[in-house]
Amino acid sequence: MSGPLRLVPDEGGAERTMQLRTLPLKLRRTAPPEPEPGPEEQLDLSADPLDELAERLHDVCADAVHPYEIAAFLESDGLSDEQAALLYGRPDAFTVAEELFEKVERRYPGQSSEFANPWRADPWRCVVRGLVFALPGLGYLLGANLFATARMRFGLPSGMLALSIATLVSWGFNQALAHRSYRWLGRLRRREAAVCLAVGAPLGALIAAAAAYVVGGPLGALCFAAGQSCYLGAATVLLVLGREKFLLVALAPASVGAGVVLAVDVPETVRTVVLLASLLLAVGLAVRELVVCVRGGERESVELRLPLRQEVPHLLFGLACGALTLIAGLGETIHQAVQAASHTVHGAAAALPHHHHVREVKTTPTGPAMIALTLSLGLAEWLLFRYRAMAVAALRTSHTSGQFTRRTGGVLLGCLFIYLTTVAALDAAATVLWPGAPALGVPQLGAMLLLGGSLWLALLLNAFGFSWSTALICLAAAGAESAGLLTGADPIVLQLIGCGAAAVLLTAIAGPALGRTTQHR
């Protein structure tokens, strides 16, 4: 994914909070002097001061599903325990909230046109985003001749390792860059977001290309890695600024060219020209959009700084997602290389012939599965919005906090089931259409579904601010799988254990955390 979702689309961002006027009016302005009460009035006891507050906060208290919601409103407006004792004769703010909850009759407004779905997502936009996530994979068909497939290095076609490292660096850097840009957009500063992208996207492409050069490989493979790094930077710009259709236009030459390559043999020069056409289109459209945003936006008079440390968990999360995805796609090939090297060292067997490695890469069943996973990312985004919409609806219709927790838990499981079912269906269709692809076995399918489920849960928790938890869990799973793969363990078993453990931990966090009403206010 290009970046985290804003808490409420088209609003001022995560930091924008609801401001309430909960304290008595006499604390906010000086009331006019009242006439002295008569003797009869002096004999009467004054009414409970809490009644006035209950009347003023009637709507808030009537909609609350738990006293803690009222307590949160009171504390956000500055009501301390000392003020609760002085003004209302209660020991603390929580006691005030509990009595208000009892005084005011429950009123659950149910769904309405205004509040039923504040999370509106355009389904067609999600379809387009799913396409722009999947179509870049066709570029590997056009650029296959740029890799020295007759030579092997670290168990992969020469140059593939450099491309993999560049991909990891780009994913991690661009994930952090997108998050920082979304933070600027959340504060309604589109110009600052464009400046951030204008500086960060070229820097990320340069770092990724340099990493590929350090690893080394054939010149053609290094050029391909540099072009991919530039494309990913341009794609991040267009996705963050909401220009998915521009990116679809840029991918048109590579998509058409890949279709032609599957039908007939195309000279390498023509393939390279087609790849360059898509790259130049993507970069050109990204530059055009940045220029429009920078020139069209006004410089804010109030200077605002965003600390860089908040991007660290998103950088780690991008690296972890890239590592888990690469292991799912290349794990079997790396496993065979490790096994061959081990046999050679111990004299048990000779290393596998080079052409055998290449054949396994082409016939691995993970190819269609990876296509299915990337195509499903558009649906994953739509389901994130759908979960938020249904959670807000449950917040307005639940009578108790326990009922709300059960409803949001059911919504979470339902969205996850829909996503995984779609991934399985897409994988079945891709396997049928992929020329010569073997059927995906139950263990392979299980590993792929666990990976998809873990990534979707991590993205959902990221949207609610649990960035460090998701980053560390995914990073631990990626590290464990990488270490096991290098020691010769079966990659499918590693994925079942690593992604399975990550899915369990993320579910254990998501259930209680997202079942709290305060997370959805």
Residue spans of the domains in the chain: they are 122-306, 312-521
pLDDT of residue 466 exceeding 90: yes
* Size of the chain, expressed as the number of residues it contains: 521
Residue 364's pLDDT is 52
Task: Please determine, for residue 55, whether its predicted confidence score (pLDDT) is greater than 70.
Answer: yes
What is the rounded distance in angstroms from the CA atom of residue 277 to the CA atom of residue 266? Answer: 16
315 vs 208: CA distance, rounded Å: 14
Confidence tier at 365 by pLDDT (50, 70, 90)? low
Mean pLDDT over 234-261 rounds to 93
89-107 mean pLDDT: 86
- Three-state DSSP class for 349? coil
**What is the per-residue pLDDT across 168-220, written as a single tens digit (0 to 9) for each?**
999 999 999 999 999 999 888 899 999 999 999 999 999 999 999 998 888 88
Mean pLDDT of 471-492: 94
Rounded to the nearest integer, the mean pLDDT of the chain is 81
Q: Which residues of 128-167 are buried (b: 16+ CB within 10 A; e: fewer)?
A: bbbbbbbbbebbebbbebbbbbeebbebbbbbbbbbbbbb
Q: What is the mean pLDDT of residues 297-309?
A: 77
* Residue-level pLDDT at 449: 94
- Averaged over 421-447, what is the pLDDT? 83
pLDDT bracket for residue 148 (50, 70, 90): low
pLDDT band at 13 (very low <50, low <70, confident <90, very high): very low
Crossing angle for the helix pair 123-134 and 377-397, nearest 10 degrees? Answer: 150
Secondary structure class of 10 (helix, strand, coil) = coil
Mean pLDDT is lowest, of 45-59, 218-232, 506-520, for: 45-59
Question: Nearest Cα to 279, choosing from 213, 368, 381, 209?
Answer: 209
The per-residue pLDDT for 89 is 85
Band (121; pLDDT cuts 50, 70, 90): confident
User: Using CA atoms, how far apart are residues 75 and 78, in angstroms rounded to an integer?
Assistant: 5
Q: Specify which of 222-236, 289-303, 367-381 reaches the highest per-range mean pLDDT.
A: 222-236
- Measured between alpha carbons, how far is 513 from 461 in angstroms, rounded to an integer? 9
- In this prediction, residue 101 carries a pLDDT of 87
Give the mean pLDDT of 447-451. 93
What pLDDT does 149 receive? Answer: 60
* Lowest-confidence segment of 7-21, 243-257, 269-283 by average pLDDT: 7-21
| pLDDT at residue 235, rounded to an integer | 96
Residue 307 pLDDT > 90, yes or no? no
Out of 153-167, 419-433, 471-485, the most confident range is 471-485
3-state DSSP assignment of residue 73: helix
93-124 per-residue burial string, b: 16 or more CB within 10 A, e: under 16: bbbbbbbbbebbeeeeeeeeeeeebebebeee
More confident position, 24 or 364: 364
Q: Which of 125-134, 141-150, 464-473 has the highest mean pLDDT?
A: 464-473
What pLDDT digit, counting tens, does each position of 154-178 carry? 666 778 889 999 999 999 999 999 9
Dihedral angle sign, alpha carbons of residues 258, 260, 265, 270: negative
pLDDT recorded at residue 108: 59
Average pLDDT over residues 483-490: 90
Contact 224, 145 (CB under 8 A): no
